[in-house]
Chains A and B, each alone.
Chain A
């Protein structure tokens, strides 16, 4: 039963959501510090290309990840520098970088398209992999998948249970108060934008070295935007973000399944499912619909519901802070 279709599908959803989970964690760190790195889609393409090219030339997957991380961090640095030092619009810089990353990856990677290259090795965790059902779904994967789940926990712990995490959140929520207590707001923002960008780079490379193995123009196009939407849907929390990424992975699997089951319906229509879901989910968390649900709920449920449904972005997200 370990290789039943359902178990295999669930395992493939876990694998397919891995890069999204990593990118979401990175962007949550960035946005929690008060900066929006809108360039995710372009950054992921650039890092997917870089990761593959470096891994191909050195025949070492980990060097590929390192290179991808560097590219992601560099793109993020441009966003941070432009918005903090030069006080330009973060959205404008991020958007241009999105398009630039797309075209630049197509140009720089033009001699490496559709050729086989190194792949992240499969590694089943001993003992744990033998647990029925759970084992084959979660522990019969590769290192990047395990990394993603550890990252979710570490990010959550760092943000909400440590001193440095408090400083990071103060930069995004109450920069004036943090600054008065001696936090270097702009230093925090530089630091976490660059770390976040590095993680987005890892996410991009895990497409080209793990899931869609190899490089082709536009390999990861669209996933960066989905990751940005999941950050909102996840309420800037890594754990909710992880569920968001899994949900989107599941809708992709659902679309594939529906295509096979209803061949008479034009296949392409099912591709719209994740995007429709994206609008509906953002509508759900953004509108006052959730407020209304909370007010009609029984009293004892209101507080937990509020904690679960209520989403508010970091208060100073996207604003500049002048240290004087």
Chain B
């Protein structure tokens, strides 16, 4: 009847299905039954309460980072440096946890504020390098990511090494009062989820309902005309980066204060890059970010169980999510494919 409308409804599933098919072929090629493998991943994510809580615990910092990236993408900025902003947040939170003594509530508040400040400043560095030094944020961000990670390794193996000797793995565990209150025996902190929900809501309001959000959009869509209209692009860009950095820093604090109990070598675990994928898959639509982030978190947690059961490398989870994003980018908009272009003209 109306082929166009029908395709429009079904099409979004096609790239996703394509990613599943390619991943299945990979599994098949390595001698694993795809269905069993996906079952293992599902069990690994939602098999019992502990696993589900672990998915939630991984979800919160990913959601925070994704929320921050909504702001920078809106301003047309590629904040690849988010990884480093997470790490700097974790470092700042660890510094407070290691060096300050106070009642738990005060300590946690100071840790979170310090983490947000550190993330914001690290992001501001990238922003100022762009606006004043003409250095593209992708490159300053990458360099700052590496520097932040090297700084972590320096702290772990040097000044902050545990008393029993430097192991390169992490600092000594923090005092119990410095850690976020956890749900039962999990690594999930309800407080962190509350903070992430507040952050997400505020960002949605800021982007949708304020003049500032409109200015960011103007900058993101056409820098030159925004400038001609009198929008101070430099200030807005720096602010957008700093807001994203603050949320990323908060994510880093959540990582170090609830997922771990100390500063670790791979404190971010690639959450920043993953958050970039989440926002890209959401096609910059805000309300898709939380569910997609949850899905990614489940896939990543599941692939660890997959590795335990089948001895296959856990990078399979990453491959699945990355293929989804790639296929949606390439084939998500069926009109652009041109296959049906003729029909389009008729209708």
Q: Which chain B positions have C-beta within 8 A of A286?
A: 133-135
Q: Give the docked Cα–Cα distance between A272 and B276 (Å).
A: 25
Distance of A46 from chain B, by nearest CB (Å): 12
Q: Give the docked Cα–Cα distance between A85 and B329 (Å).
A: 13
Using known A-B contacts A96-B326, A97-B326, determine if residue A107 contacts B142 with beta carbons closer than 8 Å.
no
Q: Which of A254-280 contact B (CB under 8 A)?
A: 266-269, 271-272, 275-276, 278-279
User: A107–B132 contact, CB under 8 A?
Assistant: no
User: A86–B273 contact, CB under 8 A?
Assistant: no
What 1/0 flags go to A69-82 for Cβ under 8 Å of B?
A: 00000000010011
Whether a CB of chain B sits under 8 angstroms from the CB of A104 is: yes
Distance of B67 from chain A, by nearest CB (Å): 19
Q: Which chain B positions have C-beta within 8 A of A87?
A: 336
Chief secondary structure at chain B's binding surface: helix
The 3 A-B pairs with the shortest beta carbon distances in the complex, nearest first, are A286-B134, A103-B318, A266-B158
Can you report 20 A-B residue pairs in the complex whose CB atoms are below 8 A from each other? Answer: A86-B331, A86-B337, A92-B280, A92-B329, A93-B326, A95-B276, A97-B326, A99-B273, A99-B277, A100-B322, A103-B316, A104-B315, A107-B313, A110-B312, A110-B313, A232-B139, A269-B154, A276-B147, A282-B140, A287-B134
Other than the known A102-B318, A107-B313, A107-B316, what 20 A-B pairs have Cβ atoms closer than 8 Å?
A86-B337, A88-B330, A93-B330, A95-B80, A96-B326, A104-B319, A106-B315, A107-B315, A107-B319, A108-B26, A110-B313, A266-B154, A268-B153, A279-B129, A279-B139, A282-B139, A283-B135, A287-B132, A287-B133, A287-B134
User: A228–B139 contact, CB under 8 A?
Assistant: yes
User: A278–B139 contact, CB under 8 A?
Assistant: yes
Whether a CB of chain A sits under 8 angstroms from the CB of B222 is: no
Q: Give the docked Cα–Cα distance between A139 and B322 (Å).
A: 43
Q: Give the docked Cα–Cα distance between A97 and B333 (Å).
A: 19
User: A275–B146 contact, CB under 8 A?
Assistant: yes
Q: Which chain A positions have C-beta within 8 A of B312?
A: 107, 110
Distance of A225 from chain B, by nearest CB (Å): 5
What 1/0 flags go to B251-274 for Cβ under 8 Å of A?
A: 000000000000000000000010
User: B146–A99 contact, CB under 8 A?
Assistant: no
User: B147–A272 contact, CB under 8 A?
Assistant: yes
Q: Which chain A positions have C-beta within 8 A of B135?
A: 279, 282-283, 286
User: B316–A272 contact, CB under 8 A?
Assistant: no
Q: Which residue from chain A places its CB closest to the CB of B316 in the assembled complex?
A: A107
Using known A-B contacts A86-B330, A88-B329, A91-B78, determine if residue A100 contacts B154 with beta carbons closer than 8 Å.
no
Q: Which residue from chain A places its CB closest to the CB of B26 in the assembled complex?
A: A107
Q: Give the docked Cα–Cα distance between A271 and B150 (Å).
A: 7
Whether a CB of chain A sits under 8 angstroms from the CB of B143 is: yes
User: B139–A268 contact, CB under 8 A?
Assistant: no
Whether a CB of chain A sits under 8 angstroms from the CB of B325 is: yes
Q: Which chain B positions have C-beta within 8 A of A266?
A: 154, 157-158
User: A100–B313 contact, CB under 8 A?
Assistant: no
Whether a CB of chain B sits under 8 angstroms from the CB of A116 is: no
Q: Which chain B positions have C-beta within 8 A of A63?
A: none
Interface size (B, Cβ < 8 Å)? Answer: 44
Cβ-defined partner of B318 (8 Å) among A78, A97, A99: A99
Q: Which chain B positions have C-beta within 8 A of A104?
A: 315, 319
User: B323–A100 contact, CB under 8 A?
Assistant: yes
Name the residue among B132, B133, B140, B153 with the largest chain A CB count within 10 angstroms: B133
Interface residues on A, range: 35 or more
Using known A-B contacts A100-B319, A103-B315, A107-B26, determine if residue A82 contacts B158 with beta carbons closer than 8 Å.
no
Whether a CB of chain B sits under 8 angstroms from the CB of A229 is: yes
Interface residue ranges, B against A (CB under 8 Å): 26, 78, 80, 129, 132-136, 138-140, 142-144, 146-147, 150-151, 153-154, 157-158, 273, 276-277, 280, 312-313, 315-316, 318-319, 322-323, 325-326, 329-331, 333, 336-338
Whether a CB of chain B sits under 8 angstroms from the CB of A164 is: no
Using known A-B contacts A88-B330, A266-B157, determine if residue A272 contacts B146 with beta carbons closer than 8 Å.
yes
Q: Which chain B positions have C-beta within 8 A of A272?
A: 146-147, 150-151
User: B325–A96 contact, CB under 8 A?
Assistant: yes
Whether a CB of chain B sits under 8 angstroms from the CB of A304 is: no
Q: Which chain B positions have C-beta within 8 A of A82?
A: 329-330
Q: Give the docked Cα–Cα distance between A41 and B222 (Å).
A: 29
Q: Which chain B positions have C-beta within 8 A of A38?
A: 138
Q: Which residue from chain A places its CB closest to the CB of B158 in the assembled complex?
A: A266
Distance of A186 from chain B, by nearest CB (Å): 14
Q: Which residue from chain B places its CB closest to the CB of A98 in the assembled complex?
A: B273
Q: Which chain A positions have C-beta within 8 A of B273?
A: 99
Q: Which chain A positions have C-beta within 8 A of B333?
A: 86
Distance of A170 from chain B, by nearest CB (Å): 24
User: B313–A106 contact, CB under 8 A?
Assistant: yes
Q: Give the docked Cα–Cα distance between A1 and B310 (Å).
A: 56
Distance of A163 from chain B, by nearest CB (Å): 32
Q: Give the docked Cα–Cα distance between A262 and B298 (Å).
A: 46
Using known A-B contacts A96-B277, A287-B133, determine if residue A225 contacts B142 with beta carbons closer than 8 Å.
yes
Q: Give the docked Cα–Cα distance between A97 and B318 (Å).
A: 12
Q: Give the docked Cα–Cα distance between A271 and B315 (Å).
A: 26
Q: Give the docked Cα–Cα distance between A278 and B143 (Å).
A: 7
Q: Give the docked Cα–Cα distance between A302 and B337 (Å).
A: 51
Q: Which chain A positions have C-beta within 8 A of B280?
A: 92, 95-96
Q: Give the docked Cα–Cα distance between A228 and B140 (Å).
A: 12
Distance of A111 from chain B, by nearest CB (Å): 9
Distance of A166 from chain B, by nearest CB (Å): 28
Q: Give the docked Cα–Cα distance between A88 and B318 (Å).
A: 22
Distance of B209 from chain A, by nearest CB (Å): 27
Q: Which residue from chain A places its CB closest to the CB of B146 in the assembled complex?
A: A275
Q: Which chain A positions have C-beta within 8 A of B313?
A: 106-107, 110
Cβ-defined partner of B157 (8 Å) among A88, A96, A97, A268: A268
Q: Which chain A positions have C-beta within 8 A of B316?
A: 103, 107
Q: Give the docked Cα–Cα distance between A88 and B139 (Å).
A: 21
Q: Give the docked Cα–Cα distance between A92 and B325 (Å).
A: 9
Distance of B283 from chain A, by nearest CB (Å): 10
User: B154–A279 contact, CB under 8 A?
Assistant: no
